[in-house]
Amino acid sequence: MATTESRPTDSPMDHFDADELGQYRSLSSLAVVSVVLGAFSALTFASPMLIVVPLAAAGTALLALRSIATSGGGLSGTRLALVGLTLAVMFGVAAFARVVVRDSLLERQVDQVCQQWLGLASDGQVDEMLVLMSKQAADRLKPAVEVAQPDSIFGGMLTSALMRQDPLVVALTTISESGELKFEIRDSQILATISPAQAQVRYAVSTAESDTSATCQIVLKRFRTGDNEFEWFVDGWTLEN
């Protein structure tokens, strides 16, 4: 009697590769966390201090990829980890570039106001200097008579007179007699995340025609002047030599 040899039938699962069978493997929890952190990395646009979020997302994604690769096929979630890593890099780089562009713009604004104010000081135009100063800085110059009587012409004249006698104004006026002033930034610091934003700049002031020079430090604050409009105002200054 003839016997029939039985042949194993192909399983439907044989037609799928390992990646397609990933749904039958355990999903890496690190991969899930990396995607969540990657999505929250968008918060770095609200505050640069949250740059730790994309850094954590990238680190978690790399750990997830490593654990998946060494699991011997027991874990899935490679694509999720790659998505988390992509989001972390994308938001992290974008937020960093935004901060760099913002700081560069603010530095130019601050330097422009400082040089204008110092130029007015060297020309002795104290009334115009007061326009570029914050209300707090101007109030510190006002004598008691002007504080008591804001509309007093005498008080205003005293304020201008006191400004002309300020050591920085006197020094810049003297140096400018030797030629055109040159302003060189020695160092600067901008605190844009506080309210109001503040800046501190040190300048070396000199002329090409003379060895006479001076170093001064200027403090500025940024105030709202209109709808979505902000301007920098000089809030303090020091003549260092």
* Dihedral in degrees, nearest 10, Cα atoms 23, 24, 25, 28: 30
Query: Model confidence over 154-211: pLDDT tens digits?
Result: 445 667 778 888 899 999 999 998 888 999 999 999 998 888 999 999 999 998 877 8
pLDDT, position 10: 52
Single-letter code of the amino acid located at 12:
P
Which residues of the chain, if any, have pLDDT below 70?
A: 1-24, 142-158
pLDDT, position 16: 40
pLDDT, position 47: 79
Domain boundaries defined on the chain: 12-100, 108-239
pLDDT, position 20: 45
**Could you tell me the two tokens for 227?**
């709808």
- CATH 1.10.150 for domain 108-239: no
pLDDT, position 143: 56
pLDDT, position 93: 93
